[in-house]
């Protein structure tokens, strides 16, 4: 098992109220989906534990949430004209 994932499991304590995953913990999810999700959510928060809670909520909604997000982002990129960086 990845050492970072093991550390998250040991350190996890639900800090945000009202999420879909309030009764769950990281070991209830696919470790690779957790890692993929944390990398995405760290774009929005500097706190890895908050990112983890957001990830768990999204994965509770849809276990393939971050795979679907990746597909959607690639599709949107394919629609951009060449040289358009999206800004």
Q: What is the pTM of this model?
A: 0.73
User: Could you tell me the CA-to-CA distances from 33 to 7, 16, 47, 52, 78 in Å, in that order?
Assistant: 16, 20, 18, 11, 24
Given a cut of 60, is residue 80 above it in pLDDT?
yes
Q: What is the pLDDT of residue 54?
A: 92
**Among 47, 37, 63, residue whose Cα is nearest residue 11:** 47
pLDDT tens digit sequence for 7-52: 555 566 666 667 777 788 888 899 999 999 999 999 999 988 889 9
Domain ranges of the chain: 3-13+24-79
Given a cut of 60, is residue 1 above it in pLDDT?
no
């Amino acid at each position: 098992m990845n050492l970072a994932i093991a550390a998250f499991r040991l350190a996890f304590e639900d800090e945000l109220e009202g999420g879909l995953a309030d009764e769950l913990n990281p070991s209830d999810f696919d470790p690779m989906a957790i890692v993929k999700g944390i990398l995405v959510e760290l774009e929005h928060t500097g706190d890895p534990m908050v990112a983890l809670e957001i990830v768990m909520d999204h994965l509770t909604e849809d276990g393939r949430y971050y795979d679907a997000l990746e597909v959607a982002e690639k599709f949107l990129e394919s629609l951009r004209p060449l040289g358009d960086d999206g800004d």
